[in-house]
């Protein structure tokens, strides 16, 4: 019998695949919410089994507001996944969120609109569910990410408020100023509704955010896509190392708890 992973990594635009990923099985199931944007790729990385999922599709074709978050999260649940580490690239708003910083957010504010953001809206004979979303990121996984960073001597920012905008356009300076007044540290386009849908299905979910640019109005230099690509190429290997160490920690913890 093939054994399937219980940990999934959702990679964003900056991480469309994992380096040296050995896929031993791949599936693309359909769901009551339509097609997921990518196949589930069950892989072994550094001895650990995990499932990799490309949020925006294999070629990155789906814009943040068009991603089928419900189908994506529901196929992870159907496949038996219990823990999810999401990777998102973000813009840095506050001073410590300079390009290249890695943030492990602990809070978020949702500025998106019109996205299908619940499994439980009262339709399909399912009751409405008022999920407790006070702590959107799972504390246990966050702790394992932070411990993995310490093991690797990799500097990360412990905590931060992720402001999720609709995209795909970037923000105006006034919007970023408002977000900073609201308490946001970083800005991205994909944490919502992904995080709440994971919570609704009982998946433990946390994320690793790589700051790839200063947000609008926070830099003297105009935004440059080539600068972002260079930074991603330099910094994503560190994020991948952090992912591998975190997965190792999570597996070791699970094994110790079940023995
Ligand atoms: N704004 C929104 N999303 C982003 C940004 C940004 O500046 N950078 C990367 N994702």
For the Cβ of 228 lying below 6 angstroms from any atom of ligand 1, the answer is no
Distances (CA, A) of 182 to 7, 75, 116, 163: 33, 34, 24, 9
SS3 19: coil
Angle 215-221-227 from CA coordinates, rounded to 5°? 80
**In angstroms, what is the span from residue 13 Cα to ligand 1's centroid?**
11
For residues 158 and 156, give the distance between their C-alpha atoms in angstroms, rounded to a whole number: 6
DSSP letters spanning 51-98: EEEETT-TT--S-GGGS-HHHHHHHHHHTT--EEEEEEEEEE-STT--
- Model confidence pLDDT, tens digit, residues 17-65: 998 888 999 999 999 999 999 999 999 887 888 999 999 988 878 999 9
Query: What's the pLDDT at 60?
Result: 76
> Could you tell me if residue 113 is inside a domain?
yes
- At 210 the pLDDT is 98
Check pLDDT > 80 for residue 4: no
* 39 lies in some domain: yes
Q: For residue 3, what pLDDT band results from cuts at 50, 70 and 90?
A: low
Q: Return the SS3 of 69.
A: helix
* pLDDT tens digits, one per residue of 203-243: 999 999 999 999 999 999 988 999 999 999 999 999 999 99
**Contact status, residue 84 vs residue 8, Cβ threshold 8 Å:** yes
From the alpha carbon of 189, which atom of ligand 1 is closest? 3
Evaluate whether residue 40 is within a structural domain.
yes
**Rounded mean pLDDT, 105-132:** 93
Q: Which tokens go with 12?
A: 């964003």
Query: Does residue 1 lie within any of the structural domains?
Result: no
Answer with the residue of higher pLDDT: 173 or 46.
173
Pocket test of ligand 1: the residue of 94, 163, 212, 216 to mutate, having most ligand atoms within 8 Å of its CB, is: 212
Mean pLDDT of the residues in the chain? 94
Which pTM was predicted?
A: 0.96
Span 241-255, average pLDDT: 93
Q: 222-231, long-range: CB within 8 Å, 24+ apart, which pairs?
A: 223/170, 227/99, 228/89, 231/99, 231/100
- For residue 31, report the phi and psi dihedrals to the nearest 5 degrees: -140, 165
Q: Whose CA is nearest to atom 10 of ligand 1?
A: 90
Chain centroid to CA 161: 14
For residues 130-145, average pLDDT: 97
Query: Is 190 touching ligand 1 by the criterion CB < 6 Å?
Result: no
pLDDT, average across residues 160-172: 97
Check which CATH number belongs to the domain holding 164 and give it.
3.40.50.1580
Q: With 80 as the cut, is the pLDDT of residue 1 above it?
A: no
Take residue 166 and report the two structure tokens written for it: 């609709």
Contacts of 72 (CB under 8 A, 6+ apart): 10, 36, 37, 38, 53, 55, 194
Taking the centre of ligand 1 as the mean of its atom positions, its distance from the CA of residue 177, in whole angstroms, is 14
Residue 232's contacts (CB-CB under 8 Å, 6 or more residues apart) are 14, 89, 210, 212
Q: What span, in angstroms and rounded, lies between the C-alpha atoms of 187 and 144?
A: 23
* Residue 2 maps to a domain: no
Q: How many domains does the chain have?
A: 1
Please determine, for residue 2, whether its predicted confidence score (pLDDT) is greater than 60: no
- Ligand 1: residue whose CA is nearest its atom 9: 90
Residue with CA at minimum distance from ligand 1 atom 2: 188
Domain that holds residue 200: 7-258
Q: Name the band, by pLDDT with cuts 50, 70 and 90, for residue 9.
A: very high
């Amino acid at each position: 019998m093939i054994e399937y992973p219980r940990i999934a990594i959702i990679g964003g635009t900056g991480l469309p695949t994992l380096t040296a990923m050995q896929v031993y099985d791949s599936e693309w199931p359909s769901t009551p919410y339509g097609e997921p944007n990518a196949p589930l790729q069950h892989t072994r990385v550094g001895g650990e089994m995990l499932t990799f999922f490309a949020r925006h599709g294999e070629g990155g074709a789906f814009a943040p507001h068009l991603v089928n978050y419900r189908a994506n999260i529901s196929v992870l649940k159907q496949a038996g996944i219990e823990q999810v580490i999401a990777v998102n690239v973000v813009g840095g708003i506050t001073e410590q969120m300079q390009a290249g910083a890695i943030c492990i957010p602990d809070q978020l504010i949702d500025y998106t609109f019109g996205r299908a953001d619940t499994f439980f809206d009262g339709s399909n004979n399912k009751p409405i569910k008022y999920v407790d979303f006070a702590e959107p990121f799972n504390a246990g996984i966050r702790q394992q990410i932070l411990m993995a960073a310490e093991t690797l001597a990799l500097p990360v920012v412990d905590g931060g408020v992720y402001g999720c905008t609709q995209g795909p356009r970037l923000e105006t300076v006034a919007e970023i100023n408002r977000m900073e007044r609201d308490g946001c540290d970083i800005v991205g386009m994909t944490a919502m509704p992904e995080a709440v849908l994971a919570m609704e299905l009982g998946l433990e979910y946390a994320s690793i955010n790589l700051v790839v640019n200063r947000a609008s109005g926070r830099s003297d230099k105009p935004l440059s896509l080539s600068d972002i690509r260079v930074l991603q190429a330099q910094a994503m290997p560190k994020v991948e190392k952090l992912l591998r160490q975190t997965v190792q920690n999570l597996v070791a913890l699970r094994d110790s708890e079940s023995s």
